[in-house]
């Protein structure tokens, strides 16, 4: 077996601008304007900071993530919904993202590693390639909003040769398919 090629990408701070090619930052920031909800004497402000799309049953899951080596083995994309990740407890994480492609694999030259400080989450555009978040602290709890169908496609009975596929899911083993390991550089 040959040694995989290493493709390093530096970590950047997640901001509305750095997240924009892949989706939207979920949090209160300059682009998140308050909605005109006028109850509670101004003590509650309501925002719609992201646009969430799903054409089917949507489910809310909780992932407890421990630290692991920051090497990307898989990247996946979704065709029917905008997946959302919301950190709990203010714990930071890094996500590797690549823009949607017409091709069967992500364009690794456009891949970015974004550091979320734990104060905000994000919603990805439909088709955005991504690896599951890398925790910087063990037992980082993250709410994941996705389609029920996608969760079912990730179950062991549906995994073939270390990959998962379905009408909404395309999870590829990058190392096996390309011989390239994406290494996150902190």
Per residue in 113-158, pLDDT (tens digit) is 999 999 999 999 999 999 999 999 999 988 889 888 988 888 888 8
Please tell me the pTM assigned to this model. Answer: 0.82
pLDDT in tens, 20-48: 999 887 877 677 777 777 666 777 676 76
Query: Over the range 164-178, which residues count as b (16 or more CB within 10 Å of their CB) and which as e?
Result: bebebbbbbebbeeb
Which residue range is the domain that position 175 belongs to?
5-185
CATH number at residue 62: 2.60.120.480
pLDDT at position 38 is 63
pLDDT in tens, 44-100: 676 767 777 777 788 888 888 999 999 999 999 999 999 999 999 999 999 999 999
For the chain, the C-alpha Rg in angstroms (whole number) is 17
What total of structural domains would you count in the chain? 1
């Amino acid at each position: 077996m040959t040694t995989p090629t290493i493709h390093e990408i530096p970590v950047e701070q997640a901001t509305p601008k750095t997240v924009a090619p892949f989706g939207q930052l979920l949090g209160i920031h300059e682009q998140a304007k308050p909605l005109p909800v006028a109850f509670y004497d101004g003590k509650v402000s309501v925002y719609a900071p992201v646009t969430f799309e799903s054409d089917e049953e949507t489910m809310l899951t909780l992932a407890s993530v421990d630290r692991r080596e920051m090497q990307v083995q898989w990247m996946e994309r979704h065709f029917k919904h905008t997946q959302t990740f919301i950190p709990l407890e203010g714990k930071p994480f890094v996500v590797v993202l690549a823009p949607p492609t017409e091709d069967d694999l992500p364009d690794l030259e456009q891949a970015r590693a974004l550091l979320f400080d734990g104060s905000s989450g994000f919603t990805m555009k439909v088709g955005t390639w991504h690896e599951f978040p890398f925790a910087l602290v063990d037992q980082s709890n993250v709410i994941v909003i996705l389609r029920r169908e996608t969760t079912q496609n990730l179950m062991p009975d549906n995994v073939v040769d270390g990959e998962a596929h379905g009408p909404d899911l395309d999870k590829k083993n990058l190392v096996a398919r390309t011989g390239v390991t994406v290494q996150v550089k902190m």
